Amino acid sequence: MTLEHGYRRLLACYPRAYRRQYEDELIGVLLDDASPGQRRPVPRDVLALLGGALQAHVRQAGARFSGDAWREAAQALGLIAALMLFVRDARVPVLHTAMFADSYPYGIGEKFVFWPIGLVALLWLTVAVSVVFGWGRAAAAIAVGGATFEVVRVAEDYGQYSTVFNLWPAVLAAMVPLVLAVRAPRSVTASLARWRLGTLAAATLVSVGAPSIALLTAVDDSTTPIDGTLIFTFGVGRIEAILLTAGYLLFALVILSTPAVLRRRLLALVVPVGVTLVLTRVGLGTTGRFLRRSSHDGVLDALTLAQWLTLVLAPALLFAVAVTILHRRERSGPQGA
């Protein structure tokens, strides 16, 4: 391998557009600066070129994500994610409120045990309302508190039970302040249109009220829980499962009905959450199909370093793959097709 080949291999780490414009010039400069008889790049040049490649990719990614379509998608995701987190945290407090209103007999301590979660649910609802009114920065600041709660809750579950079963809401919650910190070129009401906002409201009401409706209608068969919705929650009765599924489908309808340019970016943005959900719900467990974990006395063993790396790297890598595919597709075809 000649010195020039060594430098070209290092420059292959740079983005293609950067190489087309600067590769020959950089090769000339590097060869001119090389010592007589030098056959390989010196460590200093290797580090400088790799560092420059990383900076070039970061700048390129920043340029991609600064586009109007990405910023609109980020704002829309912030609203949808806040509503979904509200649903997750509010369902049980709403159920207990319905039980209290229905004079359901339970102890005074049980009446208030879920109120801390209820307060967090109100926080997520406040985030969603703030986004609708165009107060993006205030919503991002408020979302930091909710994200902190979700992360702490996952950390406590792992500390007590070595479980990461509910890691996906923490990942989703951590994304909310980040996406809402991005300023969109127009309001979320303009991006999603009023009928989609109405669909989001319906999805929220149906999902958060599912257990209460099942209880108050007294037609749910709670003795035979449905496991088909285990990926979102534990075993529930038939009526609640139907209502939850309807709510989830309405959330999905909002995303899938958006214009193609926005829809593709929304789907790419939720890739890390989806990958985390699949890994923690399907992969990591005593019956997992991959990344199997053993247990002792019913308690799962702690995650290995390889499993932690998989949980951290797989969502990020697949997100990068999704973004790359999206941009290549849009470059090769008409915009918005």
pLDDT tens sequence across 129-174 = 999 999 989 999 999 999 999 999 999 888 887 788 889 999 999 9
The dihedral of CA 260, 264, 270, 271: what is its sign? Answer: positive
SS3 127: helix
User: Residues 80, 254: contact at Cβ < 8 Å?
Assistant: yes
Q: Are 244 and 225 part of one and the same domain? A: yes
- Between 306 and 186, residue with greater pLDDT: 186
Q: Are 113 and 133 part of one and the same domain? A: yes
Query: Does residue 220 register a pLDDT over 70?
Result: no
Query: Does residue 279 register a pLDDT over 60?
Result: yes
Report if residue 305 sits inside a domain: no
Highest-scoring range by mean pLDDT, 164-178, 272-286, 288-302: 164-178
Helices (H) and strands (E) in the chain, counts: 13, 2
Mean pLDDT of the residues in the chain: 82
User: Residues 81, 254: contact at Cβ < 8 Å?
Assistant: no
Structural domain tally of the chain? Answer: 2
User: What is the Cα 64 distance to its own chain's centre?
Assistant: 19
Average pLDDT over residues 92-120: 63
Q: Are 161 and 36 part of one and the same domain? A: no
Q: Are 38 and 185 part of one and the same domain? A: no
Q: Are 166 and 129 part of one and the same domain? A: yes
d(CA 32, CA 41): 12
DSSP, residue by residue, 156-167: HHHHHH---TTH
Q: Are 231 and 123 part of one and the same domain? A: yes
Beta bridge partners of 118: none
Q: Are 57 and 160 part of one and the same domain? A: no
pLDDT at 28: 86
Strands 299-300 and 295-296, how do they pair?
antiparallel
User: What is the Cα 170 distance to its own chain's centre?
Assistant: 9
- Joined together, the tokens standing for residue 18 give 């950067």
pLDDT at 293: 67
User: Residues 266, 73: contact at Cβ < 8 Å?
Assistant: yes
Report if residue 267 sits inside a domain: no
Query: Domain limits at 230?
Result: 69-260
Report if residue 21 sits inside a domain: yes
Report if residue 314 sits inside a domain: no
Q: Are 48 and 87 part of one and the same domain? A: no
- Joined together, the tokens standing for residue 327 give 């941009």
- Between 335 and 186, residue with greater pLDDT: 186
Report if residue 57 sits inside a domain: yes
- Give residue 61's pLDDT band: very low, low, confident or very high (50, 70, 90): low
d(CA 316, CA 169): 16
Q: Are 88 and 218 part of one and the same domain? A: yes
Closest of 202, 210, 242 to residue 226, by C-alpha: 242
The percent of residues in the chain predicted with pLDDT above 70, rounded, is 80
The percent of residues in the chain predicted with pLDDT above 90, rounded, is 37
Report if residue 286 sits inside a domain: no
Q: pLDDT of 78-88, one tens digit each? A: 999 999 999 98
Q: Are 84 and 103 part of one and the same domain? A: yes
Q: How many CB atoms lie within 10 A of CB 101?
A: 10
Residue 184, φ and ψ in degrees, nearest 5 = -90, 155
Report if residue 292 sits inside a domain: no
- Joined together, the tokens standing for residue 209 give 């009220």
Q: Are 134 and 28 part of one and the same domain? A: no
Average pLDDT over residues 122-134: 95
Residue tagged 């293609």 (tokens): 16
- Between 97 and 233, residue with greater pLDDT: 97
Report if residue 291 sits inside a domain: no
The residue count for the chain: 337
pLDDT at 290: 53
Q: pLDDT of 14-33, one tens digit each? A: 888 788 888 888 888 888 88
User: Residues 291, 284: contact at Cβ < 8 Å?
Assistant: yes
Q: Are 121 and 247 part of one and the same domain? A: yes
